[in-house]
Chains A and B, each alone.
Chain A
Amino acid sequence: MSIRERLSGNEAAATAMKQINPDVVAAFPITPSTEIPQYFSTFVSNGLVDTEFVAVESEHSAMSACIGAEAAGARAMTATSANGLSLMWEMIYIASSLRLPIVLSLVNRAVSGPLNIHNDHSDAMGVRDAGWIMLFSENNQEAYDNLLMAHRIAENENVLLPLMVCQDGFITSHSIENIELEEDSEVKKFVGEYHPKHYLLNDKEPIAVGPLDVQSYLFEHKAQQAEAMKAAKDVILQVAKDFENWTGRHYGLFEEYMLDDSEVAIVCMNSTAGTAKSVINDLRKKGIKAGLLKIRVYRPFPYEEVANALSNQKAVAVLDKADSLNGMGSALFEDVTSSMYVAGKHVPMVNYVYGIGGRDTTSKDIESVYNDLIEVAKSGKIDNPYRYLGLRREEN
């Protein structure tokens, strides 16, 4: 039986960690994820978990401690944001290449500079090719649910990859909202115990972790990582199915909202998807066939499924909350357009960079995108596929 509660996104993440009760949490505070290790450290002090909490001196050390713990055979978790993730950069790659299923709660924030503590996805986009499974969460509920599913996915023997659960800094991390929580004992049963096959502290099987990997091996090891990432897709779906059987809450690789009969659709991630749903409800009342594809699983990217789901649209807008600064489109747009091209589906598509540095994304902004898409669908013409949404410009 679910428990009706109201929690912020950070409280939801900390609650999930409490219920998971990992062996080790190593973390260093950074806004807006600070509350997660803060709450967790009180759980440790109050004896609500038996986790070894390591208050490290930097995020580089936080990830290093998680790597050490996981290599030793323990279950390790951490949380960070923005420049904290940047400082982990070196160890982020080590974690995935050593195939250590660490779980990270990433509260998305703009990477400096200039200094900005507010939400965008530039931190997550910086590690999109680092070999981590990346799940995005629209609200506190999804941040909680994704964390409850995380270890079952990451620790699966066909996967063995680290996993990060993203949510929007401040927008969901600091907003109190309704949430359905599960009983501690039920969570414990669902998550299960961690029994790694190979680990450093196993005296019956002495192994080395992370030795030199020269020309004759690194390529094959990278290919194995890539295979594991591909294999993760089925595991994510299987775990989601078990999760739904338990809680009744359905999760897929992405969520389709009124997409089956829509003509114009937005693709986006995290909290903006909720605002888009509210706009779609209003547009539908006016007879406008608007839809949404909300990416949940960003890595591995479900390219076949996404292409299939978007193939009947007359125009699609992909919203990126990070600017790739590459003279062309941003990361999610590239992934979606590439998926469409490979699948041989041609749908007019435009890219909007939006919400940078916490710029509020309003219902009116989202509605303007659907209006633009209606024009694109009518004319079939796209004068500029690379656009901004909500950017302040000098008046002429």
Chain B
Amino acid sequence: MNDLIEIRWHGRGGQGAKTASLLLADAAFNTGKYIQGFPEYGPERMGAPITAYNRISNTPITIHSNIYEPDYVVVVDDTLLEAVDVTAGLKSTGAIVINTTKSPDYLKKVLKGYSGDIYTIDAREISMQTLGRYFPNTPMLAAIVKVSNIMNDEDFIKDMEGSFKHKFAKKPEVIAGNMEAIKMALNKVQKI
């Protein structure tokens, strides 16, 4: 892992991009890293575009600004691709991970010739299969962990079990589905 990894999340209010960024921070923290997880707060409402950020480092992080040249971008909702400049500042050595079923040709076109790696995952399908409802953030969290190689699958799965037990202490019935979503997403994220 590079000394500092910077990740930008694009989602819509209510889809859990902020929660996913905080869970990612948690998971990386548990592997001994220095972390930041923070959303960019605007006039939030359901469905509006939102941005969240992560910094993950082996050394203490002092910088306190938004991220303009991320190593990775996660797009939780592909309707944002034509509304937001999601690859703005994204390093060509990095990658973008998109929740979509759209064709590679379409994606290359809307990403305006982004020369880094493009990964896709159908988080809707995974979420519907494992949870019976559309919560894209859990599969997207697994996808970015896989793509960025912040930690190995085994450590991540173990850590998420602990996190979910804590997070869903009052509704333990959703833990198994979320774990299934994680495992499925780790296998299904693919480079185009």
User: In the complex the two chains form, is A177's CB within 8 Å of B66's CB?
Assistant: no
- Closest A residue to B25 by CB, please name it: A176
Q: Does B60 contact A (CB under 8 A)?
A: yes
Q: Does A2 contact B (CB under 8 A)?
A: no
User: CA of A32 to CA of B65 in the docked complex: distance in angstroms?
Assistant: 17
Q: Does B174 contact A (CB under 8 A)?
A: no
User: CA of A175 to CA of B41 in the docked complex: distance in angstroms?
Assistant: 11
Tell me which residues from 112 to 126 in chain A have a Cβ below 8 Å from any Cβ of chain B.
117-118
Give the shortest distance, in Å, between B18 (CB) and chain A (any CB).
Answer: 9
User: CA of A6 to CA of B34 in the docked complex: distance in angstroms?
Assistant: 9
* B-contact bits for A138-164, CB 8 A (1 contact / 0 none): 110000000000000000000000000
User: In the complex the two chains form, is A117's CB within 8 Å of B25's CB?
Assistant: no
Q: Does B48 contact A (CB under 8 A)?
A: no
Q: Does A312 contact B (CB under 8 A)?
A: no
Pick from B35, B41, B64: contact of A178, CB under 8 Å:
B35
User: In the complex the two chains form, is A174's CB within 8 Å of B65's CB?
Assistant: no
User: In the complex the two chains form, is A176's CB within 8 Å of B64's CB?
Assistant: no
Tell me which residues from 17 to 72 in chain B have a Cβ below 8 Å from any Cβ of chain A.
22, 25-26, 29, 34-39, 41, 60-66, 68
Pick from A32, A171, A178, A278: contact of B34, CB under 8 Å:
A178
Give the shortest distance, in Å, between A179 (CB) and chain B (any CB).
Answer: 10
User: In the complex the two chains form, is B35's CB within 8 Å of A6's CB?
Assistant: yes
User: In the complex the two chains form, is A271's CB within 8 Å of B64's CB?
Assistant: yes
User: CA of A67 to CA of B71 in the docked complex: distance in angstroms?
Assistant: 51
Q: Does A172 contact B (CB under 8 A)?
A: yes
Given contacts A176-B36, A278-B62, contact A117 B41 (CB under 8 A): yes
* Contact size range, B: 10 to 19
User: CA of A360 to CA of B51 in the docked complex: distance in angstroms?
Assistant: 14
User: CA of A47 to CA of B67 in the docked complex: distance in angstroms?
Assistant: 40
User: In the complex the two chains form, is A178's CB within 8 Å of B29's CB?
Assistant: yes
* Contact size range, A: 20 to 34
- Closest A residue to B53 by CB, please name it: A175
Residues in B whose Cβ lies below 8 Å from that of A360:
65-66
Q: Does A362 contact B (CB under 8 A)?
A: yes
User: CA of A278 to CA of B36 in the docked complex: distance in angstroms?
Assistant: 15
Pick from B26, B60, B65: contact of A6, CB under 8 Å:
B26
Residues in B whose Cβ lies below 8 Å from that of A272:
64
User: In the complex the two chains form, is A6's CB within 8 Å of B29's CB?
Assistant: yes
User: In the complex the two chains form, is B38's CB within 8 Å of A176's CB?
Assistant: yes
- Most chain A CB atoms below 10 A, which of B37, B61, B65: B65
Residues in B whose Cβ lies below 8 Å from that of A277:
62
User: In the complex the two chains form, is A171's CB within 8 Å of B64's CB?
Assistant: yes
User: CA of A175 to CA of B62 in the docked complex: distance in angstroms?
Assistant: 12
Pick from B29, B35, B38, B61: contact of A174, CB under 8 Å:
B38
User: In the complex the two chains form, is A363's CB within 8 Å of B64's CB?
Assistant: no
Given contacts A6-B35, A175-B36, A178-B35, contact A118 B41 (CB under 8 A): yes
Given contacts A118-B41, A176-B35, A177-B36, contact A275 B66 (CB under 8 A): no
Residues in A whose Cβ lies below 8 Å from that of B60:
178
- Most chain A CB atoms below 10 A, which of B22, B41, B60, B68: B41
User: In the complex the two chains form, is B65's CB within 8 Å of A176's CB?
Assistant: no
User: CA of A242 to CA of B52 in the docked complex: distance in angstroms?
Assistant: 39
Residues in A whose Cβ lies below 8 Å from that of B34:
177-178
Q: Does A361 contact B (CB under 8 A)?
A: yes
Residues in A whose Cβ lies below 8 Å from that of B64:
139, 168, 171-172, 175, 271-272, 274-275
- Closest A residue to B62 by CB, please name it: A274
Give the shortest distance, in Å, between A389 (CB) and chain B (any CB).
Answer: 13
Q: Does A170 contact B (CB under 8 A)?
A: yes
User: In the complex the two chains form, is B63's CB within 8 Å of A177's CB?
Assistant: no
Give the shortest distance, in Å, between B111 (CB) and chain A (any CB).
Answer: 24
- Closest A residue to B68 by CB, please name it: A362
Give the shortest distance, in Å, between A360 (CB) and chain B (any CB).
Answer: 5
Pick from A177, A178, A362: contact of B65, CB under 8 Å:
A362
User: CA of A119 to CA of B64 in the docked complex: distance in angstroms?
Assistant: 12
Q: List 17 A-B contacts (CB under 8 A).
A: A6-B26, A118-B41, A138-B62, A168-B64, A170-B38, A171-B38, A175-B36, A176-B22, A176-B38, A177-B34, A177-B61, A178-B29, A178-B34, A274-B63, A275-B65, A278-B62, A360-B66
The 7 A-B residue pairs with the shortest CB-CB distance, nearest first, are: A274-B62, A175-B38, A271-B64, A278-B63, A176-B37, A6-B29, A277-B62
